[in-house]
Amino acid sequence: MENDYQHTIAGEFELAGIGIHSGEAVGLRARPAPEGSGITFKRTDLPGAPTVPATLDHVTGTELGTSLGVEDAHVATVEHVLAALSACEVDNVVLEANGPEVPILDGSFTPWLDALHTVGRTRQSSPATVIVVRETITSRGGCQSSYTALPHDGLRISATIDFDHSAIGRQYGDFRLDGGSFREQIASARTFGFREEAPILRERGFANGASLDNTVVLDEESVMNDRLRYPDEFLRHKVGDMVGDLALLGGRLRGHVVAERPSHRGNVALARDIREWHEKEQRRSIIDVRRIMDCLPHRYPMLLVDRVVEFEPLKRIVGLKNVTINEPFFRGHFPGHPVMPGVLVIEAMAQVGGLLLMDSVADPDRKVVYFMSLNNVKWRRPVTPGDQILFEMEVVNIRRSACKMRGRGRVDGKVVAEAEMTARIVDK
From 266, 282, 298, give the residue that closes a domain: 282
Residue 94 pLDDT greater than 90, yes or no: yes
| Predicted model pTM | 0.70
User: If pLDDT is split at 50, 70 and 90, which confidence band does 357 have?
Assistant: confident
* 398: β partners: 403
Residue 97 pLDDT greater than 90, yes or no: yes
Q: How many domains is the chain built from?
A: 2
Q: What is the pLDDT of residues 215-272, one digit of tens each?
A: 999 999 899 999 999 999 999 999 999 999 999 999 999 999 999 999 999 999 999 9
CA atoms within 13 A on the CB side of 329: 18
User: If pLDDT is split at 50, 70 and 90, which confidence band does 366 have?
Assistant: low
Residue 191: name the closest of 23, 25, 64 by CA. Answer: 64
- Catalytic positions: 264, 333
Distances (CA, A) of 231 to 192, 214, 258: 13, 18, 21
CA distance 158 to 315: 39
Distance of CA 167 to the CA centre of its chain: 36
Length of the chain in terms of residues written: 428
236, 228 contact by CB (below 8 A): no
Residues near 168 by beta carbon (within 8 Å), at least 6 away in sequence: 161, 218, 234
CA distance 47 to 207: 27
Residues near 157 by beta carbon (within 8 Å), at least 6 away in sequence: 174, 175, 177, 239, 242, 243, 256, 257, 259
Residue 181 pLDDT greater than 50, yes or no: yes
Shared domain check, 411 and 330: yes
- For 267, the domain range is 2-282
Distances (CA, A) of 267 to 20, 65, 247: 20, 11, 10
Q: How many CB atoms lie within 10 A of CB 208?
A: 15
Shared domain check, 352 and 266: no
Shared domain check, 21 and 168: yes
Shared domain check, 180 and 96: yes
Mean local confidence (pLDDT), 92-101: 97
Predicted pLDDT at 425: 74
Shared domain check, 338 and 277: no
CATH of the domain at 314: 3.10.129.10
Q: What is the pLDDT of residues 315-339, one digit of tens each?
A: 888 888 989 888 888 877 777 788 9
52, 73 contact by CB (below 8 A): yes
Predicted pLDDT at 96: 98
Shared domain check, 172 and 256: yes
Give me the percent of the chain exceeding a pLDDT of 90.
67
Q: What is the pLDDT of residues 106-151, one digit of tens each?
A: 999 999 999 999 999 999 988 888 998 988 999 987 668 899 999 9
Predicted pLDDT at 359: 54
Three-point CA angle 266, 271, 273, nearest 5°: 95
Shared domain check, 296 and 270: no
Shared domain check, 148 and 107: yes
Shared domain check, 96 and 31: yes
